[in-house]
Amino acid sequence: MPDTAPPVIEIRDLHKSYGPLEVLKGIDLTAPKGHVVSLIGSSGSGKSTLLRCANLLEDSQQGEILFEAEPIRWKGTGANRHPADRRQVTRIRTNLSMVFQQFNLWAHMTILQNVMEAPVTVLKRDPKEVEEKARGYLDKVGIGDKCDAYPAQLSGGQQQRAAIARALCMEPRALLFDEPTSALDPELEQEVVRVIKALADEGRTMLLVTHDMNMARDCSDHVVFLHQGRIEEQGAPADLFGAPKTQRLQQFLNATGA
C-alpha cells in the first residue's frame, strides 16, 4: 500500500529577506516521509537560509511552512512576521534535528554527555534510557569507543559523526543537514558521507544542503537546484545530473565536475 502520510516538511511560496536583500523569492518544497531531498546550488543561492527557515531558526516574511500537515501560526506581516506560538515552534523544532557544518559540540562535555544532553534536558527523558540509546547511536555512526573522549580529542570527521548521533538521539521525524562535510578534508569527509548514506538507506526523512554532488546523486530521492533564491530545476537525481534542462544547471554541474 502507498504511504498516505502527509509530508514531514512542506513549504509554500516562501520569501525571506535581510533588509533590502531578498534571499528566497517564492520557494515551494516538499519533503515526504522517508525521502531524502538534497538542495544544491552556488554559494549565496539561498540553500542554507531555506534550511534554517524550515527549522524555524529564521523567520520568513511570506509563505507557509507545514510540519506533518500542521501549519506554523504567524503573527504580523512582512518584516514584522514572527511565529505566534513559541510552544508550537519548540515542539516542532524538537522533531527536526539539525546537523551543522561546524559540529557545535560542547567542549566541556564528553561525547556521550553531548549526545545525551538534549533528550535529558529538553525532552525530560529518563537518563538511563537515554544513555542506552546514545551509546547505540554512537555505535551506529562508528565511534562507540569514543564515549568518554572530549570533542578536542576527536578528528573533525569523528566530531561530525558525534553530531549526527546527537541529532539521532532526539529521535526526530526528520534530519536536516547544513553542509555537513564542507569543513572536512576529503578523507574525513568520506567517513561522514558513509554514515549519511547508511541513514538514507534506512529510509529516514532528510533535508540535505550539500556541495558534494556525488552524495546528492547517491543519497537523494529528489534534488533541488537553487539559483539566486529561486528553484531553477528539480527532479530525480538521474534526471538532474544525467540530463539537466537549464543552461544554469549545466554550467553549475560543469563547474563542480559533476
Distance of CA 244 to the CA centre of its chain: 24
Give tens-digit pLDDT for 11-31. 999 999 999 999 999 999 999
Domains along the chain? 1-95+176-258 (3.40.50.300), 102-171 (no CATH)
Q: What is the pTM of this model?
A: 0.92
Mean pLDDT of 167-192: 92
Can you give the pLDDT at residue 3? 59
Q: Does position 256 have pLDDT exceeding 90, yes or no?
A: no
- Give yes or no for a contact between 106 and 113, defined as CB atoms under 8 angstroms apart: yes
Distance of CA 210 to the CA centre of its chain: 9
Angle at CA of residue 173, ends 210 and 202, nearest 5°: 70
Query: How far is it, in rounded angstroms, from Cα 144 to Cα 244?
Result: 42
